[in-house]
Amino acid sequence: MKKPFVNLEQLKEITEQYPTPFHLYDERGIRENARRLKKAFQWNKGFKEYFAVKATPNPAILNILKEEGCGADCSSLTELMLAEAVGFAGEEIMFSSNVTPAEDFICANKLQAIINFDDITHIDFFKQIAEMPETISLRYNPGGDFKISNAIMDKPGEAKYGLTRSQLTEAIKKLQLYGVKHFGLHAFLASNTTTNEYYPELAKILFKTAVELNDETGAHISFINLSGGVGIPYQPEQQPADIMAIGEGVKQAYAEVLLPAGMDDVAIYTELGRFMLGPYGCLVATALHEKHIHKDYIGLDACAANLMRPAMYGSYHHITVMGKENQPCDHKYDITGGLCENNDKFAIDRMLPKIDIGDLLVIHDTGAHGFAMGYNYNGKLRSAEILLKEDGSTQLIRRAETPADYFATLNITDYFKSTRL
């Protein structure tokens, strides 16, 4: 069974100060995990993790990871601004975007971030608006299906991202004419994998491609970015990915492919979000109502606006009824929020202990793509984010929204005069 990183007594103290719902993050777990990743790839002197800002865009979280030696993977103007505000600069920022507006490229270039082109047409688009840097990365899409041991992991050929193999050669030759001296190669071919083989298999593809590109163009490939894709075990019976085994697998591929080609200076980069933060965040909610019709329902003060993944993907998130961890799971519930949408459910037909009104529920593994995917449908307000610090104290790292925040972007002065706004 999954165990929360916080106990009932701690939660009761926290809820006395901050009402539910809220997302809670475990600083100790985040730091320890960042150190494990760094240890797994310490064999590569240029290794760097560029945390996917989109997963958990909070400056307090980013600052923790910066202190642990991570960079920032940004995909939009506001993510670049957030990274800059935290203190990331230059090659500490990887800008991986698609359908990119000019102002985003201009900002990335001003910050001297490493720019990762998603499409060959972006080269001339960029050249018209900014000076071409000496280092550029290219995102590769090999097409077809991505398989490991004949099992289809994903279908890159159906993804909108990246350049084809022939476009990579064409792009490098064009960029060389534009003065680019150093190149990176990037790819993301499968999402949320817990198999230890994903990164090593992806690495082999990228390493072989890098050798080919070097032979064809003479280009200096300075780094290989394995991007994200290493996931977490949302289901309690799933085995987690072994990051030490993954690092060793990439090391073997490096020795087999790059070293014989004399490319022993290639740095390895990663852009992990879910692996870095997922298990170290949870959504804390209170049981508000129970309903007994054709099924038994427990309604929470949280909803899909606080955690979209179950409604959007049918994703499983484990649920702990705090204080009842050792009680039998002998009640079948749908755990719901209060949106006017029937998919606003955190769990369907979930066997749990008997839930009473007022019980605190912990919804696990929301540290990445949890709060970040929130929205305001039905006028629901985004929740607070709280950091459980290493010393056991808490820090409010994002306050909960208020109705004033919801109305702030509207020109409503002629319509609403209420002081409540």
pLDDT digit string, tens, across residues 281-295: 999 999 999 999 999
Q: Mark whether 191 and 319 lie in a shared domain.
A: no
Which of 74, 303, 329, 340 is an active site residue? 340
Q: Mark whether 81 and 226 lie in a shared domain.
A: yes
Q: Mark whether 127 and 45 lie in a shared domain.
A: yes
Q: Mark whether 274 and 302 lie in a shared domain.
A: no
Phi then psi for residue 285, to 5 deg, are -140, 165
Q: Mark whether 334 and 271 lie in a shared domain.
A: no
Q: Mark whether 233 and 138 lie in a shared domain.
A: yes
- Count structural domains, the chain: 2
pLDDT of 77 higher than 90: yes
Phi then psi for residue 407, to 5 deg, are -90, -5
In one letter, which amino acid is 361?
Answer: L
Decide if 413 is inside a domain.
no
Q: Is the dihedral of CA 135, 136, 137, 142 positive or negative?
A: negative
Q: Is 15 exposed, middle or buried (0-12, 13-18, 19+ CB in 10 A)?
A: middle
Query: The domain spanning residue 171 has which CATH number?
Result: 3.20.20.10
Cβ contacts of residue 376 below 8 Å, gap of 6+?
305, 382, 406
**What is the span of the domain harbouring residue 35?**
27-278
Decide if 414 is inside a domain.
no
pLDDT digit string, tens, across residues 1-13: 899 999 999 999 9
Q: Mark whether 265 and 285 lie in a shared domain.
A: no
Specify the pLDDT at position 249: 98
Of 222, 245, 278, which marks where a domain is finished? Answer: 278
Decide if 3 is inside a domain.
no
Of 246, 278, 310, which marks where a domain is finished? Answer: 278
Decide if 177 is inside a domain.
yes
pLDDT of 226 higher than 90: yes
Is the peptide bond preceding residue 133 cis, with omega within 30 degrees of 0?
no
Query: The domain spanning residue 318 has which CATH number?
Result: 2.40.37.10
Told to judge if 340 belongs to the known catalytic residues of this protein, a careful annotator would answer: yes
pLDDT of 163 higher than 90: yes
Q: Mark whether 244 and 348 lie in a shared domain.
A: no
Q: Mark whether 184 and 315 lie in a shared domain.
A: no
pLDDT of 214 higher than 90: yes
Q: Mark whether 291 and 274 lie in a shared domain.
A: no
In one letter, which amino acid is 302?
Answer: A
Among the residues of 95-219, which ranges form H helices?
A: 102-110, 121-127, 165-177, 198-217
Of 278, 294, 321, which marks where a domain is finished? Answer: 278
Placement of tokens 């329902």 in the chain: 297
Q: Which residues of 129-139 are buried (b: 16+ CB within 10 A; e: fewer)?
A: ebebbebbbbb
d(CA 115, CA 138): 8
pTM of the model: 0.95
Task: Pull the structure tokens for residue 392.
Answer: 């056991």
